[in-house]
């Protein structure tokens, strides 16, 4: 099977560990196990004593009940039997395409988004149709364009909400309109929701799995709950045919998730409100920092994010994004992601959910690089 190189992951792998100011990271500032217990108020000693007494079997093959109950609290209509546990959201996305997509199937997906959502179905021989999300539409889907792509026989529509890299957020009305389009042809909607609930306001953010009978939600413990090291995710859907296919294929490549991962995730989700309060405070305070910085940059513009942890910044310098980001990294230590990783030229993605000190220092380094470029180039790109 041939597949395109995973641009954003290859970039992160190459440069992340040596960065002085990592403002490419997309998780909300990660926490330790000690911090998890401090934030939740759970008894660490009791937890460790009970866990250390357990035999390290495969555990609950279809997911630890306490973990699955915690996941259900993130939805309105999802029950434990509606979940398939996976190795991260990346594992969930891959598993869905592996389970549901065959050569020739029509798959409609948005761009920019996480590359899994178009490169994996493409590698399976799907007929992948791309719908570009445009800044003039605040990176939200154009419904008329979508209707033109979703023809009879379309198998799947792929969304990302909140969107990575733009931070756009589809509201309930828009999701329901997309669901109506999918319903007209009997298509699944797969929605990567790993940044769900990281909003700038307190309103409940709906999931496609609750709104649409063939909606499939993908998420994980990584972004919203700052626990990427658990490598734990899930698929949530009320569609029995999708569940049956996922569970059948799961026997071939997943078997079960880690017992320790699921046990810690259950602790986090049992006290999810505390973690969400912490992480929403971070993204709200840090977006204000980023917004003030953008306002002071003559060569940078953006569509201000509504949710999530990332922003897509466009610049007017005559330098391709890979060259821009690598030169800046070498010169200042500031680490961001080239927009070309998302087929968005002359732009860069910033992850603004790190600790505030790192964000401020990283943005100052970007300012330094922009100033040095301006000194050496008198005419910006038009």
Residue 205 has pLDDT above 70, yes or no: yes
33-271, CATH topology level: 3.40.640
Residue 381: predicted pLDDT: 52
Q: What is the pLDDT of residue 375?
A: 80
pLDDT band at 235 (very low <50, low <70, confident <90, very high): very high
* Predicted pLDDT at 379: 54
**Has residue 233 got a pLDDT over 60?**
yes
Can you give the pLDDT at residue 55? Answer: 97
Same fold, 7-32+274-373 and 33-271: no
- The residue ranges of every structural domain in the chain are 7-32+274-373, 33-271
pLDDT digits (tens, 9 = 90+) for 18-57: 999 999 999 999 999 999 999 999 999 999 999 999 999 9
Q: Give 174-181's long-range contacts (Cβ < 8 A, gap of 24+).
A: 174/140, 174/141, 174/143, 175/206, 175/208, 175/211, 175/212, 176/211, 176/212, 177/143, 178/141, 178/143, 178/146, 179/208, 179/211, 179/212, 179/215, 181/143, 181/146, 181/147, 181/150, 181/157
pLDDT (mean) for 229-258: 96
| Residue 374: band (very low, low, confident or very high) from pLDDT cuts 50, 70, 90 | confident
Summarised one tens digit per residue, pLDDT across range 78-112 is 999 999 999 999 999 999 999 999 999 999 999 99
Q: How confident is the model at residue 378 (pLDDT cuts 50, 70, 90)?
A: low
Q: What is the pLDDT of residue 377?
A: 76
Q: Classify the C-alpha dihedral 281-284-287-289 as positive or negative.
A: negative
Domain 7-32+274-373 top-level CATH class: alpha beta
């Amino acid at each position: 099977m041939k597949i395109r190189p995973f641009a954003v992951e290859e970039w992160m792998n190459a440069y992340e560990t040596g960065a002085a100011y990592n403002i490419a990271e997309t998780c909300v500032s990660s926490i330790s196990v000690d911090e998890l217990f401090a934030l939740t108020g759970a008894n660490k000693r009791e937890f460790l004593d009970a866990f250390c007494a357990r035999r390290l079997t495969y555990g609950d093959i279809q997911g630890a009940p306490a973990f699955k109950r915690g996941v259900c609290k993130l939805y309105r209509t999802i029950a434990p039997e509606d979940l398939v546990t996976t190795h991260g959201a990346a594992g969930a996305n891959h598993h869905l395409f592996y389970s549901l997509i065959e050569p020739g199937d029509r798959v409609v997906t948005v761009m920019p988004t996480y590359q899994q959502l178009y490169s994996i179905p493409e590698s399976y021989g799907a007929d992948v149709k791309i719908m570009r999300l445009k800044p003039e539409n605040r990176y939200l889907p154009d419904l008329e364009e979508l209707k033109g792509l979703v023809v009879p026989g379309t198998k799947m529509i792929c969304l990302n909400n909140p969107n990575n890299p733009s931070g756009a957020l589809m509201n309930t009305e828009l999701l329901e309109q997309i669901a109506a389009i999918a319903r007209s042809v009997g298509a699944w909607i797969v929605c990567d929701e790993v940044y769900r609930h990281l909003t700038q306001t307190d309103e409940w953010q709906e999931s496609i799995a609750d709104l649409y009978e063939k909606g499939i939600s993908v998420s994980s413990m990584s972004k919203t709950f700052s626990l990427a090291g658990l490598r734990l995710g899930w698929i949530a859907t009320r569609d029995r045919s999708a569940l049956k296919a996922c569970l059948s294929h799961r026997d071939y490549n997943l078997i079960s998730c880690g017992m320790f991962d699921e046990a810690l995730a259950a602790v986090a989700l049992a006290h999810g409100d505390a973690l969400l309060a912490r992480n929403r405070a971070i993204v709200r305070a840090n977006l204000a920092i980023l917004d003030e910085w953008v306002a002071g940059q003559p060569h940078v513009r953006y569509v201000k994010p509504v949710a999530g942890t990332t922003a897509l910044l466009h610049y007017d310098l005559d330098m391709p994004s890979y060259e821009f980001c690598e030169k800046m990294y070498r010169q200042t230590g500031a680490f961001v992601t080239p927009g070309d990783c998302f087929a968005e030229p002359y732009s860069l993605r910033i992850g603004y959910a790190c600790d505030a000190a790192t964000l401020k220092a990283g943005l100052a380094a970007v300012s330094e690089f922009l100033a040095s470029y301006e000194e050496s180039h008198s005419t910006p790109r038009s």
